[in-house]
Amino acid sequence: MAPRLFDIAHPEFRVGMRAMAPQMPGLAAWGLMTGVAMVKSGLSLPEVLAMALLVYAGSAQLAALPLLVAGAPPWVVLATGFCVNLRFVVFSLHLRQYLMHLPLARRLFFGYLTVDMSYVLLTQRRPEPASDAAGRRAQEAFLGGANALGWVCWMTPSLAGIALANAIPTHWGLGFAGILALVGILCSLANQWLRVLAGAVAAATAVAAYALPLRINIVVAIGVAVAACLLIERLPPPRKAAL
């Protein structure tokens, strides 16, 4: 196969796009809001465009905004982004079985574009990774189709949000929608009691340690929360710990 970016000719490409289509309204709303929030945070237009076009990870973008605006050092911003993105590390362990036969550049290309939804769709479409050439080509076409539509449906409203935000006065406080988006993700992650505890410990630590310079309070809070949960995991369970 010629090294094209997307295997558009393969029928599975369209199947992948069709599987992604129901996600469009949600992606569009979330992209639009992220675009508005980036501009409202006070970053300059080149900075906002660089963030939208390069980072391509909504939750990491929104989490980085207050840190960038507060002038936190790069390593704190990057460490926070890494932690917010850790769910992808878990996905990548699974995706390895689907992509490892490809050359490195192709793996990185697929990995960069594979967001939560396209990962879930691929594993639903192909619970078992293909082991023959035809099957592999089909699963790559499917993932490519889902990824391509996902990228367009995220980037278009995101750029529209950036354009529209400039027409809206700052004092309306629309940037708060970015914080609310993070609250939503936070609620979706808090599905076990130890994770609820991790969030509570981290939140309290971040507020208590706010006076630390350079927004290190975020990094300290993550460390304290993870350490606390790992310690509690080791205690003998009083009962089945699930929420």
Partner 1 sequence: MIDALLAGTDLWTLATLLGLGAVTVLTRCFFFISSQPWKLPAWVARGLQYAPVAALAAVVLPEVVMSQGYLVPTWQDARIFGAAAGAAAYFLARRSTLATIVVGMAVYLPLHLGLGW
Which stretch in 6-14, 16-24, 123-131, 228-236 sits in contact with partner 1 by CB under 8 A? Answer: 228-236
Q: Shortest approach of partner 1 to residue 154 CB, angstroms?
A: 13
CB 153 within 8 A of CB 27: yes
Q: Is 123 in the site for partner 1 (CB under 8 A)?
A: no
Minimum CB distance to partner 1 smaller for 133 or for 187: 187
For 102, counting Cβ atoms within 10 Å of its Cβ (0-12 exposed, 13-18 middle, 19+ buried), the class is middle
Comparing CB distances to partner 1, the nearer of 14 and 194 is: 194
Judged by CB, which is closer to partner 1: 77, or 121? Answer: 77
241 contacts partner 1 (rule: CB under 8 A): no
Site pattern 40..69 for partner 1 (x: CB under 8 A): ---xxxxx--xx--xxxx-xxx-xx-xxx-
The contacts found for 79-87 with CB under 8 angstroms, 24 or more apart, are 79/218, 79/219, 79/222, 80/218, 80/219, 80/222, 81/55, 81/57, 83/222, 84/57, 84/59, 84/60, 85/57, 85/59, 85/60, 87/116
Q: Name which position in 1, 5, 18, 87 contacts partner 1 (CB under 8 A).
A: 87
Stretch that binds partner 1, among 13-21, 39-47, 138-146, 153-161 (CB under 8 A): 39-47
Cα–Cα distance between 133 and 97 in angstroms, integer?
Answer: 14
Residue 20 engages partner 1 in binding (rule: CB under 8 A)? no
38 binds partner 1 (CB under 8 A): no
Beta-carbon contacts of residue 121 (< 8 Å; ≥ 6 apart): 16, 19, 20, 142, 146
Among 152, 160, 194, 214, binds partner 1 (CB under 8 A): 194
- Residue 121 found at the interface with partner 1 (CB under 8 A): no
Separation between Cα atoms, residue 77 and residue 63, nearest integer Å: 9
Among 22, 187, 193, 241, binds partner 1 (CB under 8 A): 187
